Structure 1
Amino acid sequence: MSELLLEVNGLKKYFPITGGVLGRKKGEVKAVDDVSFFVKKGETLGIVGESGCGKSTTGRLLMRLIESSDGTILFEDKEVTKMSKSELRKIRRDMQMVFQDPYASLNPRHTVEKILEEPLIVHGIGSKQERKKRVKEMLEVVGLSSYHARRYPHQFSGGQRQRIGIAKALMTKPKLIIADEPVSALDVSIQAQVLNLLKDIQTEFQLTYIFIAHDLGVVRHISDRAGVMYLGRLIELADCEELYENPKHPYTRALLSAVPIPDPDIKRQNFSIHGEMPSPSNPPSGCAFHTRCSECMDICTVTRPPYQEMTKGHYTACHLFSK
């Protein structure tokens, strides 16, 4: 267990729905609903799913950018959800986040030098000269030059801005980086450059990643293990090769069958998904996927399938494989 960096158990986030003059609660949106997983030191865990499945909310819950409704988050055996503000500030030196939109996450009024120096000032790290040296070093690590430090975010391309976002996350020498769709807003050629950069700095700085994305190809390229989310629930998790070559859950199989293969001679079975994702404010009873599943059984409509380990390291939540 000592190799575990992060352990999440029963994590939930329900957003209240209010209405009327008095703003009374009318319901709730189950954005994250009983999610459990662990992350080992030095690995990359990919989290994938459709828009609205709760993967980005999960990332923000881990950083306590939003507060959870229930569940535990253990980072190096320390309970994150119960930390005071001062304790949380200390642990955030070791937990950093890279956001989807690099321009929105960078202050447009500050130079790159000031943006990168800010985390060091907040955490009281180094003298002024040491901070400036660290800024220069991190710019070089992400493929930029020291003269870029004097520029403003609007003077960079999207790929360069994301490199600055990565440099900012590296400033405090973290152990865990949560990357929330860090390449989805970039051109394909730039995506490859940023992904390769992330892999290189992971090796150099011995980092652990949680990589959130909706692109299955990107997740396979960078991740050691991958988890699939649907309607706020984690429905399958396994080593990447196992998940992609031997998917179990009907939703996972359908997602993978939609990924194009650049070989016209390869024939594979197609798995269809019917209809649209239900509203998280009114999720289906039983299995959340049963309204769209071609293999739905009677039990699926009334009983929620247990999330359990089928084979070593391969977890799924489906009645087809319930023990």
Structure 2
Amino acid sequence: MTETLLKVEGLKKHFPISGGILGKTVGHVKAVDGVSFEVRKGETLGIVGESGCGKSTTGRMLLRLIEPSEGKVSFEDKEVTKLSNSELRKLRRDMQMVFQDPFASLNPRHTVGKILEEPLIVHGIGSPQERKKRVHELLEIVGLSSYHAKRYPHQFSGGQRQRIGIARALMTKPKLIIADEPVSALDVSIQSQVLNLMQDLQKEFGLTYLFIAHDLGVVRHISDRVGVMYLGRMVELSESENLYDKPLHPYTQALLSAVPIPDPKFERDTILLQGDIPSPSNPPSGCAFHTRCPHATEICKQQTPEFKEQSKGHYVACHLY
């Protein structure tokens, strides 16, 4: 068994909805509604789902960039949800994040050198000379040059900015990197370069990734295991090849049937889901997917399915099993 680096149990985030003149809470948006999973040391766990399913909120809660409503997050047996601000700051040396938008995640008023040096200053790492040397080393490692440290973010392309974002995440030598759709804002030709860079860095530094994306092709390329989310809940989790070859949940089957195959002679049936995604402020009773599921029965409308193991390492939340 591979050592567990991160463990998530029953994680929830319910955002209050205010209404009326007095601004009273009239309901909650259940962005994440009881998610549980583990991330093993040295692996890449991909999390996929449609926009609004709660995957980005989940990633931010792991670092407590958003405070959870309920649940438990443990990193190397330290309960992240109970740490003080000073303890959390120390822990963030080992847990870093790469954000989706490389245009918005870098301060336009700072040079690249200052942006990369800032994590070292915050954590009190190294002398000014050592920090400068580390900045130049990381720039070279991610495929840029040391002289780029004097430039500003607007002087770089989208792919180069994301490389800078990756370099910033690596500055403190973390063990876990949460990558929130790191290539979705990039051109397809640049996506593969950034993905290959991330895989090379994982081998070189022994990194563990939580890779959040909505592109199933990208996730298959980089992930060892894949979790599928729908309306704030995890509905399936398995080894990558097993999930793509033998998806169990009807939602996963529908997602995979929509992935384009670069072969004009290849034919397959596309599963068309009926209706829209329900509102997370008023989710359906029972199984959240029953309003769109072609196999739904009465029990699906009444009882929430348990997220349990069906075969070795393959978990699914569905009454069909």
Q: TM-score, normalised by structure 1?
A: 0.98
AA of the residue aligned to 2:222: I
AA of the residue aligned to 1:123: H
Deviation per CA, 1:296-317: give whole Å up to 9, x if none.
Answer: 1111011101000000100000
AA of the residue aligned to 1:219: V
AA of the residue aligned to 2:70: D
Separation in 2, partners of 1:193, 1:264: 26
Separation in 1, partners of 2:160, 2:312: 41
Do 2:14 and 2:28's aligned partners in 1 also have CA atoms closer than 8 Å?
A: yes
Separation in 1, partners of 2:11, 2:22: 30
How many residues in Structure 1 have an aligned counterpart in Structure 2? 321
1:202 is aligned to 202
Could you tell me how far 1:20 is from its partner in structure 2? 1.4
Separation in 1, partners of 2:243, 2:272: 18
2:24 is aligned to 24
Separation in 2, partners of 1:20, 1:250: 40
Q: Secondary structure at the match of 1:254?
A: helix
Could you tell me how far 1:76 is from its partner in structure 2? 0.2
1:142 is aligned to 142
2:123 is aligned to 123
Separation in 2, partners of 1:261, 1:167: 33
1:168 is aligned to 168
Gaps of 5+ in 2: none
Could you tell me how far 1:174 is from its partner in structure 2? 0.1
AA of the residue aligned to 1:104: A
Separation in 2, partners of 1:272, 1:286: 22
Do 1:99 and 1:182's aligned partners in 2 also have CA atoms closer than 8 Å?
A: yes
Separation in 2, partners of 1:314, 1:197: 29
AA of the residue aligned to 2:315: Y
2:318 is aligned to 318
Deviation per CA, 1:136-160: give whole Å up to 9, x if none.
Answer: 0000010000010000000000000
1:7 is aligned to 7
Could you tell me how far 1:272 is from its partner in structure 2? 2.0
Separation in 1, partners of 2:99, 2:127: 28
Q: Secondary structure at the match of 2:320?
A: helix
1:106 is aligned to 106
Separation in 2, partners of 1:122, 1:287: 45
AA of the residue aligned to 1:116: L
Gaps of 5+ in 1: none
Do 2:2 and 2:41's aligned partners in 1 also have CA atoms closer than 8 Å?
A: no
Could you tell me how far 1:102 is from its partner in structure 2? 1.0
Do 1:307 and 1:316's aligned partners in 2 also have CA atoms closer than 8 Å?
A: yes
Q: Please, which moves more after superposition, 308-317 or 266-275?
A: 266-275
Do 2:98 and 2:169's aligned partners in 1 also have CA atoms closer than 8 Å?
A: yes
AA of the residue aligned to 1:272: L
AA of the residue aligned to 2:185: A
Deviation per CA, 1:245-279: give whole Å up to 9, x if none.
Answer: 00000000000000011123333233221111010
Could you tell me how far 1:2 is from its partner in structure 2? 7.0
2:41 is aligned to 41
Separation in 2, partners of 1:37, 1:267: 35
2:75 is aligned to 75
Separation in 1, partners of 2:32, 2:91: 23
Separation in 1, partners of 2:196, 2:290: 38
Root-mean-square deviation (CA, aligned residues, Å) is: 0.8
Do 1:272 and 1:294's aligned partners in 2 also have CA atoms closer than 8 Å?
A: no
Deviation per CA, 1:133-187: give whole Å up to 9, x if none.
Answer: 0000000010000010000000000000000000000000000000000000000
Q: Percent of pairs identical after alignment?
A: 76
